[in-house]
Amino acid sequence: MTQLRWGQATDTGQVRSINQDSMHADAPLFVVADGMGGHRGGEVASAVAIETLLGSLAEPSTAALVESVQIANGTVFQRAQDDAELRGMGTTLCAVALVSDEAGERLGLVNVGDSRVYLLRGGALSQLTEDHSLVESLVRQGRITEDEALVHPQRNILTRALGISASVDVDAWEMPAVTGDRYLLCSDGLFNEVEPPVIEATLRKLADPSEAAHELVRLANEGGGRDNITAVVLDVVEGAGAAATATRMTAAAEPDLGSLGAPADTAPQPVVALPPTPAAEAEAAAATGVADVATDVGGLAGGDPPPVASPSSAEPERKRRRVTWRVLVFLVVLVSLVVGVGWLVSSYASGSYFVAFDGDEVVIEQGRPGGFLFWEPSIEQRTGTVRDELRPVAVERVEAESSQGSLGEAEDLVQNLERTSSKPGA
């Protein structure tokens, strides 16, 4: 029998006002989910996803785990459709579960989004999951370096998440249960603030999993705590498995548009983390089409002769070339469309300012009030003025969080509010 020991910690961090991360840590299932979406959307998405996962996991197998993640996706998606306030919400989810069959006990791993599962084995830390984020795709294609990815302005854009469309691709792996292995499940609020060598050293130093989880969260807060932070540490105290590497249970399905000779200045990936609109669904469908034709075009455009056994090689050369050009034109149009829509959405999301309360302090935020899709507003300026210094009418004005066209207009508004009501009764 495999014996597990675990500990967990989560924190809102230093900047955000609510914690939209959710977690579950109790044998046989360990989950971290990082919710996104304006107002309460994010916390609902991550909580509903985990709740659904727990409720629908019928048997201890990796296949059942994948199926439960898909059910959770459907539930979050439906909630977002049914409730206007929750529209556009989504969540990442990574999970480790103890699974078993006649062959014995193993650990099943699943991931959607950019939360991560790490393994500490023999004192060395390795990342088991792949992030489904725009910057990670860019890194994989060699367009940017790992260091550039850390500070990339679009590092919060996901290419996959739960709740965005009716179905979702789930990455899955299986690991042998090896005595002494330590797993870390965490949200990006941890690894964006704490360097991997520090994560590794902390996991090596603190034997107690709960202490390790709390120390990691503390370090992330010390590093800035710009996002919600969650860490679940899972120890295999006793396992029967031999120290083998992960077995991938699903195909790596992302199409590599970069190798198709697309212009270098276009975005490489269709960003599917768009709102569940008919247009987005059509785009997702089109993206699948790209994945299918990509292999075909890659072979032809690269100038390599097609494999002799390929049934298509029997077709006349002229007909095939025509198809290739049509597909290329289609690809260029599709990529431009996706880039264009992405640019429009991103400039809409970040191109305005508004005045709001952060706690009791009046601040100027950049973005749309309540956020737009996956672009959360960020604090641009702190004013030092607090709620108590404002007259009720000014408080109301701030609470309305109305959009101002420019930073200048937002600053004017703050000045007006401060001038008309700087001292109560003045």
Distance of CA 155 to the CA centre of its chain: 9
Residue 227 touches Mn ion, criterion: CB under 5 A: yes
Q: Decide whether 19 or 385 has the Cβ nearer to Mn ion.
A: 19
Q: Note whether 43 binds Mn ion by CB under 5 A.
A: no
From the CB of residue 99, how many other CB atoms can be counted at a distance below 10 Å? Answer: 22
Q: How far apart are CA 417 and CA 369, in angstroms?
A: 19
Q: Which is nearer to Mn ion, 2 or 92 (CB)?
A: 92
Report the run of H or E that residue 130 belongs to, with start and end. Answer: none
Q: Which stretch binds Mn ion (CB under 5 A): 32-40, 58-66, 131-139, 316-324?
A: 32-40
Which one, 154 or 259, has the nearer CB to Mn ion? 154
Rank residues 77 and 374 by Cβ distance to Mn ion and give the closer one. 374
Shortest approach of Mn ion to residue 92 CB, angstroms?
A: 8
DSSP 207-246: -SHHHHHHHHHHHHHHTT--S-EEEEEEEEEE-B--S---
Query: Which lies closer to Mn ion via its Cβ, residue 8 or residue 187?
Result: 187
Q: Tokens 């952060």 appear where?
A: 358
Nearer to Mn ion, 34 or 235 (CB): 34
In terms of CB distance, is 75 or 228 closer to Mn ion? 228
Instruction: Look at the block and give the residue holding tokens 């400039």.
Output: 347
- Name the segment binding Mn ion (CB under 5 A); options: 185-193, 252-260, 274-282, 367-375: 185-193
Grouping H, G, I as helix, E, B as strand and the rest as coil, residue 261 is: coil
The nearest distance, CB 228 to Mn ion, in angstroms, is 6
What residues contact residue 398 under an 8 Å CB cut-off, 6+ apart?
A: 355, 356, 357, 362, 390, 417
Smallest gap from Cβ 356 to Mn ion, in A, equals 20
Distances (CA, A) of 192 to 115, 118, 307, 374: 11, 14, 45, 17
CB of 182 to Mn ion, least distance (A): 22
152 membership: H or E segment, kind and range? none
Contact 293, 327 (CB under 8 A): yes
Given the complex with Mn ion, which of 91 and 421 has the nearer CB atom? 91
* Interface region with Mn ion, contact rule CB under 5 A, candidates 117-125, 142-150, 179-187, 398-406: 179-187
- If one asks whether residue 136 binds Mn ion (CB under 5 A), the answer comes out as no
Count of residues that bind Mn ion according to CB under 5 A: 5
Given the DSSP bridges, would you call strands 116-121 and 361-366 parallel, antiparallel or unpaired? unpaired
How far is it, in rounded angstroms, from Cα 156 to Cα 163? 16
Considering only 27-35, 67-75, 120-128, 135-143, which stretch makes contact with Mn ion by CB under 5 A?
A: 27-35
* CA–CA separation, 395 and 386 (whole Å): 10
∠ CA(57), CA(61), CA(66), 5° rounding?
65
Q: Shortest Cβ distance from residue 383 to Mn ion (Å)?
A: 27
> Which region among 120-128, 226-234, 340-348, 351-359 touches Mn ion (by CB under 5 A)?
226-234
Identified binder of Mn ion from the candidate list 34, 105, 171, 365, rule CB under 5 A: 34
Structure token digits, residue 182: 């330590």
Cβ proximity to Mn ion: between 2 and 187 the closer is 187
- Shortest gap between Cβ of 118 and Mn ion (angstroms)? 16
Is 188 a binding residue for Mn ion by CB under 5 A? The answer is yes
Minimal distance in Å, beta carbon 229 to Mn ion? Answer: 8
Give strand pairing partners of 133: 158
List residues binding Mn ion (CB under 5 A).
Answer: 34, 187-189, 227
